[in-house]
Amino acid sequence: MDYQRKTSRSCLGLKSFSLIFLASFVGVTINQNIYFEGLYLASSSMGSAMGNLVPAITFVIAAFIG
């Protein structure tokens, strides 16, 4: 028997690309701002500890955007 596999191309549309770009850009920007704010307000160990908050903040922003 001859089975033909249906091929479905999943392409990255403009909306998906723009959402991924926005999330990555905001994540990097928040990372740098939180790190330098932590260095300004406290010691260097506090600055790097505040940098660990970036995934949580990025998740909240991504959930808010949808």
| Domains of the chain by residue range | 23-65
Give pLDDT tens digits for 22-36: 888 887 888 788 778
Query: What pLDDT, on a 0 to 100 scale, did the predictor assign at position 4?
Result: 62
Query: What pLDDT, on a 0 to 100 scale, did the predictor assign at position 37?
Result: 80
Query: What pLDDT, on a 0 to 100 scale, did the predictor assign at position 55?
Result: 82
- The pTM score is 0.45
**Which two tokens mark 17?**
């690309």
**Tens of pLDDT, residue by residue, the chain (66 residues):** 556 666 666 677 888 888 888 888 887 888 788 778 878 888 777 777 777 877 888 888 889 987
Query: Would you call 8 exposed, middle or buried from its count of C-beta atoms within 10 A (0-12, 13-18, 19+)?
Result: exposed
